[in-house]
Amino acid sequence: MLMQVNPMIVEFEQAYAAVLQQARSVLMPTESLPLWQAQGRVLAQDVFAPINWPTWPQSAMDGFAINSQDRSARFRILASAFADKVPSDCVLQAGQAQRIMTGAVIPQGCDAIVPLEYAVLQTTPDGDWLLNPNLPHKLWSQGRHIKAVGSDVRQGEKLLAKGTLLATKERALLASVGCSQVSVFVKPKVAVLTLGDELTDPGEPLTQGGVYNANRFLLQGLLSGLSIELVAMETLPDEYAVIAQRLQSLGQTVDCIFTVGGSSVGDKDWLPKILQAEGHFHRFKINMKPAKPLMSAQLGRAQLLALPGNPLATYFSFQLFAKPLLQVMAGQALATEFAQGEELRLAEPLQIADKLRWILVRRVGSEVWPMQASASQLSVLQKAQGFIRVAAHQSLAKGDRVRFFAGTEC
């Protein structure tokens, strides 16, 4: 008997809102981690600067610390001040200059640094001297080559907001003000199941009807940029019992499952039937192209999204639904709202028929060149810099504005 599981026909915004609602219901717990181990984690709290940086006024140059108001003809040079050492007798008197190194604390009574290469020096039997009169005035101006207290970071200022992904520059910033421990969200554990008897691993011979499993690599790469832990990446045959059993066991151990393929209305597309048997699930037929079919469900503790198998449909389904789902679950502020995006200009005219289109583009400066491709053609993705969103029934001319999303970052 043919079994029918009817999809809900929806607009993109409805499906997007449903997926985000699903994600918000399962925010990951938090943990405290040493900053050293927090690369790629999402902040669970705002971080405020615990200190001023610089904490003390510092020299930006190797040279001589002077008082710019001092009109003495020459200055007796005092002992060196190094980055980590302030001489105890560091109150400068009239007619004195302090030999100083980059990063050293500015002695009291100094308000400018004369770099070594601009200094005119004199050695006499009674000591070393820095000569005053012939130096260009700008080298003597107040504050010259001095890093002021708090000029980089002010104590108490909000350095990073909750929801920020701790990448390289964020961690370095926190380290610069002495943060050693951060409160972050636990990374969601993710499993990816590519489904299909036809799927063949690269390196294996291709038998008739076989398809190389490109989506496995596509998803592995796309996921690598997110704050998640990829715990399983498996290929399963088109067998009801095998898929159902694996889903059930993954539902006990992971936070998120992405399936790819086997989700449409073909005779061996078991997924809709399995999810229906499991209970609560949504099956969307989204009024857009590509990535029309999408299913979402909760299986045990796991959130499941069933992505379509055509590689470009997989790509768009990931960018538009899977990535926001994971970002929200992981506590991350969403980088992209698909109603916004950068405004760029079309490099050539574009006609859109009866549904919303997501179109890969080459970006050249502030212009984008649309790239025609069917959902099964992965070769175009490699040449694209991102994609644009174009509403149904649009007739766009060269130079018209379109919304651009950088989506080929990996």
Ligand X SMILES: Nc1nc2c(c(=O)[nH]1)N[C@H]1C(S)=C(S)[C@@H](COP(=O)(O)OP(=O)(O)OC[C@H]3O[C@@H](n4cnc5c(N)ncnc54)[C@H](O)[C@@H]3O)O[C@H]1N2
Take residue 288 and report the two structure tokens written for it: 């857009």
Task: Work out what residue 311 binds among ligand X, ligand MOO, none; the CB cut-off runs from 5 to 8 Å by kind.
Answer: ligand X
Task: Work out what residue 146 binds among ligand X, ligand MOO, none; the CB cut-off runs from 5 to 8 Å by kind.
Answer: none
From residue 184 to residue 213, what is the string marking binding to ligand X with x (rule CB under 6 A)?
A: ----------x-x-xx-----------x-x
Q: How far is the CB of 219 from ligand X (least distance, A)?
A: 8
Considering only 40, 63, 262, 272, the residue that binds ligand X (CB under 6 A) is: 262
Tell whether residue 272 is a contact of ligand X (CB under 6 A). no
The torsion of the CA quartet 87, 93, 97, 102, rounded to 10 degrees, works out to 40
Task: Work out what residue 323 binds among ligand MOO, ligand X, none; the CB cut-off runs from 5 to 8 Å by kind.
Answer: none
Which residues from 264-323 bind ligand MOO, rule CB under 6 A? Answer: 289-292, 308, 310, 313
From residue 295 to residue 334, what is the string marking binding to ligand X with x (rule CB under 6 A)?
A: -------------xxxx-x---------------------
Q: Is 262 helix (H, G, I), strand (E, B) or coil?
A: coil
Which residues from 341-380 bind ligand X, rule CB under 6 A? Answer: 375-376
Task: Work out what residue 389 binds among ligand X, ligand MOO, none; the CB cut-off runs from 5 to 8 Å by kind.
Answer: none
Q: d(Cα 158, Cα 359) in Å, to the nearest integer? A: 38
Contact at 8 Å (CB) between 59 and 90?
Answer: no
From residue 232 to residue 261, what is the string marking binding to ligand X with x (rule CB under 6 A)?
A: ----------------------------xx
> Toward ligand X, which CB reaches closer, 111 or 238?
238
Take residue 271 and report the two structure tokens written for it: 């997924």
> Toward ligand X, which CB reaches closer, 216 or 283?
216
Write the CA distances from 381 to 21, 30, 321, 343, integer angstroms.
Answer: 29, 36, 18, 21
The DSSP letter of residue 105 is B
Q: d(Cα 47, Cα 88) in Å, to the nearest integer? A: 35
Cis peptide before 54 (omega within 30 of 0): yes
Tell whether residue 214 is a contact of ligand X (CB under 6 A). yes
> Toward ligand MOO, which CB reaches closer, 198 or 229?
198
Tell whether residue 9 is a contact of ligand X (CB under 6 A). no
> Toward ligand X, which CB reaches closer, 106 or 219?
219
- Which residue in the shown chain puts its C-beta closest to ligand X? 309
**How many residues appear in the chain?**
410
Tokens 């000591």 sit on residue: 127
Q: How far is the CB of 258 from ligand X (least distance, A)?
A: 11
Contact at 8 Å (CB) between 46 and 162?
Answer: yes
Q: d(Cα 185, Cα 45) in Å, to the nearest integer? A: 9
Q: d(Cα 119, Cα 124) in Å, to the nearest integer? A: 16
Transcribe 140-208 into DSSP letters: GSTTTTEE-TTSSB-TT-EEE-TT-B--HHHHHHHHHTT--EEEEEPPPEEEEEEE-TTEE-TTS---T
Total residues at interface with ligand MOO (CB under 6 A): 8
Q: Point out which residues bind ligand MOO (CB under 6 A).
A: 289-292, 308, 310, 313, 375
Which residues are at the interface with ligand X (CB under 6 A)? 194, 196, 198-199, 211, 213-216, 260-266, 269, 292-293, 308-311, 313, 375-376
